[in-house]
Amino acid sequence: MTLLAWCCAWLLDFLIGDPQSWPHPVRWIGNLIHFVQRVVRRICRSDRALRIGGGVMWLAVVGLTYGIAWGVLHLATLIHPWLGWGVEVWMIFTVLAGRCLARSAQDVERPLRVGDLVESRIKLSWIVGRDTSQLQPEQINRAVVETVAENTVDGIIAPLFFLLLGGAPLAMAYKAVNTLDSMVGYKHEKYRAIGMVSARLDDVANFIPARLSWLLISVAAFLCRFDGPRALRIGWRDRYNHSSPNCAWSEAAVAGALGVRLGGPNDYFGQRVEKPWIGDARRAIAIDDISRTIRLMWVASTLALLLFMAVRYGLMGAA
């Protein structure tokens, strides 16, 4: 039943994603973060106090998310096993973001294909933190490919990894960790202190999934008839070409698979940030690389699901 729930949830994400009108736990987590952050900022004034308050915020948000998820799932199972199963499927479905990520990338790609740079830049600004107002087509292509490559980890592979470790409640707790990082885990002055704990613990949470993504994307590249050996080689060579200890693993694997160069300088919050290049420019990045990266994402996520299901099955057999 557990493995069937995993498959059903993954298929739901693949087929329908997250309809905007549906209730979604990540929105509730986001609202909780907003509330706790306001309380922390009201109480804590110095940087040291904000760092401590940020740690308390992390514990409160992640702890409440795990506790509520476990309680709801346990109560539903007590009422009826099939109700518990349905709640488990729903929880897993909501922590996976493959269809949402693919749709967001395609929303940028479509206007770009017809030469509507203004619309493409606007749609891109919804999914990246950099300044998109002056980006040219090649830069837009690169930004979308980087976003899909990076979020393959925290949007699909990492939730599945924590699902393996601790079931739906732990996968939900990981989503809280990731949401905290996306909301407050910035080096910008406003968030540097209060978001320090969230940023660092998100790095810890993604440490193993990011490295698994390098291997999974390399295998996916081979299956998609891209350059699998080069994905493996560039992924290892450029794995640290990023300020994050995790992001470059998946980005470098995608860059190697496609034979393009990612990274480089970008503008964030009005400041120029010099970032190292990832991969080799064997050719110029093209708009079709967006759909190629989406294909890599889906194949790699399928491989992750099969791998974790096999491990789970093996553990169940050993028990």
Q: What is the pLDDT of residues 303-313, one digit of tens each?
A: 999 999 999 98
Dist CA 303 CA 309 (whole Å):
10
Dist CA 83 CA 143 (whole Å):
42
- Is the pLDDT reported for residue 287 higher than 90? yes
pLDDT at 265: 75
Residue range(s) defining the domain that contains residue 280: 1-318
Record the tokens describing residue 273, joined without a space.
Answer: 């940030």
Q: Which residue type, as a one-letter code, is found at position 98?
A: G
pTM confidence score: 0.94
**Lowest-confidence segment of 22-26, 140-144, 192-196 by average pLDDT:** 22-26
Q: Calculate the average pLDDT of the chain.
A: 93
Query: pLDDT tens digit string along 161-218?
Result: 999 999 999 999 999 999 999 999 887 788 899 999 999 999 999 999 999 999 999 9
- Kindly compute the dihedral angle of the four CA atoms of residues 259, 262, 264, 269, in this order, to the nearest 10 degrees: 170
CB 168 within 8 A of CB 91: yes
Q: CA angle, 260 as apex, 259 and 264 as ends, to 5°?
A: 150
Dist CA 172 CA 135 (whole Å):
35
CB 214 within 8 A of CB 250: yes
Greater confidence, 215 or 268?
Answer: 215
227: helix, strand or coil: coil
Dist CA 242 CA 246 (whole Å):
8
- Is the pLDDT reported for residue 24 higher than 90? no
Number of Cβ within a 10 Å radius of residue 318 = 6
Dist CA 108 CA 119 (whole Å):
8
Average pLDDT over residues 234-244: 93
271: helix, strand or coil: strand
Give the up-direction half-sphere exposure of residue 165: CA atoms within 13 A in the CB hemisphere: 14
pLDDT at 102: 96
Share of the chain above pLDDT 90, in %: 82
Total domains in the chain come to 1
- Is the pLDDT reported for residue 273 higher than 80? no
pLDDT at 267: 66
Dist CA 300 CA 296 (whole Å):
6
- Is the pLDDT reported for residue 140 higher than 80? yes
